[in-house]
Amino acid sequence: MLVSAKEMLQKAKAGHYAVGQFNINNLEWTKAVLLTAEELKSPVILGVSEGAGKYMTGFKTVSAMVKAMIGELNITVPVALHLDHGTYDGCYKCIEAGFSSIMFDGSHYPIEENVDKTKELVKVCAEKGISLEAEVGSIGGEEDGVIGAGECADPGECKMIADLGVDMLAAGIGNIHGKYPANWAGLSFETLDAIQKLTGEMPLVLHGGTGIPEDMIKKAIDLGVSKINVNTECQLTFAEATRKYIESGKDQQGKGYDPRKLLAPGTDAIKGTVKEKIELFGSAGKA
């Protein structure tokens, strides 16, 4: 059964740890994340971007697969299925498909329009018991064609959105999606601290978790970050393990070309990355 992310993140904020959101791209990804979370007894959030949802033939397919997999694998830890960087229309599609959590990314709208649309979604989500994440200040890098330069959010605007009744807030603090460039300036802890002081108990979300040094991750958690998104790192380890398998000629030995064998090393590599992150975020044993 899927749960809303609200309760797991409130517990994380109070306990000074973070819950990982691991984006899923196919069956192997989903299975790897769920099995690792169960093994480590950690709550987990499965993130789905609109591009990944489309790739998997639609949000209803994703929702049905995740719910069935939780049952078939006897997953007992809390699992939230979350729309990542959702458009206004995408949010409604995921609500209809049975997602337990959504992110409305209204950061590209003027603040007034972001506020109006967020207000409306707060009401709809509250009625259905779905958790809602909002964003202020675009996150840098590129994700599904959405490009941002890694801006820092205005703490006052963050408070304005937090006060609408959202369950979690993603605020730009210099973080970016994808690989971090060599000249990256690092996270702005002053901005994070200012946001935390104005938003109080609100769990804060750190996007672009791949490549941020461990000490920065730990400091961000100390300053109120309760959800950290990981996607690129799993993709990189999956690609690296798959390349090794093929380059060593294993796909040409026996039935090594069988997709179940071909995708196994990459799937195991995802498990390794997820395990590493869960331990770093401090959510192991918190289910």
Task: Write out the two tokens for 172.
Answer: 């730009």
Q: Is residue 258 flagged as an active site residue?
A: no
Distance CA(234)–CA(22), nearest Å, equals 8
Kindly compute the dihedral angle of the four CA atoms of residues 229, 235, 238, 239, in this order, to the nearest 10 degrees.
-160
Distance CA(47)–CA(30), nearest Å, equals 10
Backbone torsions φ then ψ of 77, nearest 5 degrees: -80, 155
Alpha-carbon distances, residue 39 vs 35, 149, 177, 228, 280 (angstroms): 6, 37, 28, 19, 15
Distance CA(259)–CA(1), nearest Å, equals 29
Task: Write out the two tokens for 52.
Answer: 């990944």
Enzyme catalytic residues: 84
